[in-house]
Amino acid sequence: MFRLLGLLGGLSVASDMGTGAPLEESLKRSVVATRLAWTAGCGREEMSDVVYTSLLQHLGCTAASHEAAQVWGDDVASTRLAFLTDFGSREDLVRTWVPGLAEATGVSKARALGTTIAHGKKFEALGPVATCEVARDAARRLGLPASVQASLFHTLAMWNGRGYPDTSGDDIPLASRIMHVASTAVMFHLHAGPTAALSEVRRRAGTYLDPSLVDLFLCQGHEVLESIEDADPYDVVLDSEPDPARYVDDEQLETVARVFGDLVDLKTPWLHGHSAAVGDLSAKAATCLRLDEQVRSVRLAGYLHDIGRIGVSSRIWDKPGPLTRSEHDQARLHVYYSEQILSRVPGLDAVAKLAGQHHERCDGSGYHRGLTGGLLSMPSRVVATAAAFRGLVEERPYRRGLPLNEAAARLHAHAKAGRLDGDAVAAVLEAAGQHERVRRSRPAHLTERQVEVLRLMAAGLSNRDIAQRLVISRRTAEHHVQDVYLKIGVSTRAGAALFAMEHGLLGEHG
């Protein structure tokens, strides 16, 4: 049995990386939020909601990564800057957002401002909706209560009603309002120190923040902010969860891992379903090799092997041409990040090691450590081979996916050259051949045509592109899109993609 909060506390480092925050910002935010909730007189259930809501504030941070990278040039940097900027203040826009974006993306301030003027409103209408939908639906899949799901759906709400969703004041869940105060305080404390944090909390009262909660916080703000540096925030967060603590069994642990894998795959449409496919294929191959005691670790490592991608801009994963040397170095970092994130989760040491070796090769030509075969276990070789196979059969922005027979030939060539393990290659190909073409019932009463449309929506195609791909009129495509959104209960591409991944609707190679 694993304690759910322990898992999420360790994995919260991923959302820190995905939003460009210092590591453990999520944990420290949760500490401050629970102390504020205690001061506000919250009961046991409200306290529990605050713990999980504040820890998982950025659960949906990858929802609009693809679009943010296209518009701003760097989704990680622009997300961080967006939280640091008060867009209701023209002075703050010019002082914080524009120079920060220019520096992060290597463009002039004039160009950064021009891009903001040209695309800011359109992105503002898309990004928050996707972020909130994904956070809510991911929380549901994690087994968190409806109250936490609702609080995370309001993660971008504002006290004055100018955020998303369209609600204001006391209609915003209390856990969300407490999280907003704690988030502002911790973010600016880590960015510029306690004085700046208190000043920013005070300045945002009545606009972004609940003024009564701001008053409560300001009475103890200095002490609370200083104390978060004195203890391990992970341990403090665990201690703050009211009884009874939530636990997950082995099956639920796999669900948690798959959810986080799916969230990372939202970084770009080219990766949708990749992590789940690697996890399932790795587990089947491990079974073929009779690695019975390692099957679960192999599956978990497959689901989570790419979690470090979250810390690398989607601009890298979306690039249609060859990467520059600098971009290549950034891409390689994702393996190190994966291992770093997973090593923070108690009980997942073996999984962290496997994930950190999924790009190693038996001849020492891999990364990030350049290990040779004698240092690579068979489970490690299986995960690496499964990830390599899925990378060959899936489409990427710079090439089409290979047919299964060509991908198999590539793996055999790698085994012959000593890069991949021959037994692992044989097991992965055997497992890949076990794909059962069984007609399954469709979730949400989707028709076969609607599933086709959903896949194209998830891939980011416009209504016009969907119409051309399916040889139907644009109006018919629009009707299909709206029907799909209505049936699955979301309204954004990211929400549709997460639904498709959850239900395994992305097809043989997706």
Average pLDDT by stretches of 10, the chain with 510 residues: 96 98 98 96 97 98 97 97 93 95 96 95 92 98 98 98 97 98 98 96 97 96 86 95 96 98 97 98 98 97 98 97 96 98 95 98 97 97 98 96 96 97 98 66 91 94 95 95 96 96 76
Residue 334 in tokens = 């994702």
The pLDDT, as a whole number, for residue 510 is 40
The pLDDT, as a whole number, for residue 442 is 87
The pLDDT, as a whole number, for residue 509 is 43
Nearest one of 46, 377, 272 to 38, comparing CA atoms:
46
Query: Which sign does the torsion angle of CA 169, 175, 178, 180 carry?
Result: negative
The pLDDT, as a whole number, for residue 435 is 54
Cβ burial, residue 304 (10 Å; 0-12/13-18/19+): buried
The pLDDT, as a whole number, for residue 93 is 94
CA atoms of 56 and 63, how far apart (whole Å) = 14
**CA torsion 486→492→495→501, rounded to 10°?**
90
State the number of CA atoms in the 13 A half-sphere of 328 facing the CB: 6
The pLDDT, as a whole number, for residue 227 is 86
Nearest one of 308, 277, 311, 270 to 383, comparing CA atoms:
277
Pairing of strands 247-248, 2-3: antiparallel
CA atoms of 415 and 404, how far apart (whole Å) = 17
Within 10 A of 117 (CB to CB), how many other CB atoms are there?
9
Find out whether 237 and 471 touch, Cβ atoms under 8 Å: no
SS3 per residue for 110-151: HHHHHHHHHHHHHHHHHHHHHHHHHHHHHHHHCCCCHHHHHH
Is the pTM higher than 0.85? The answer reads yes
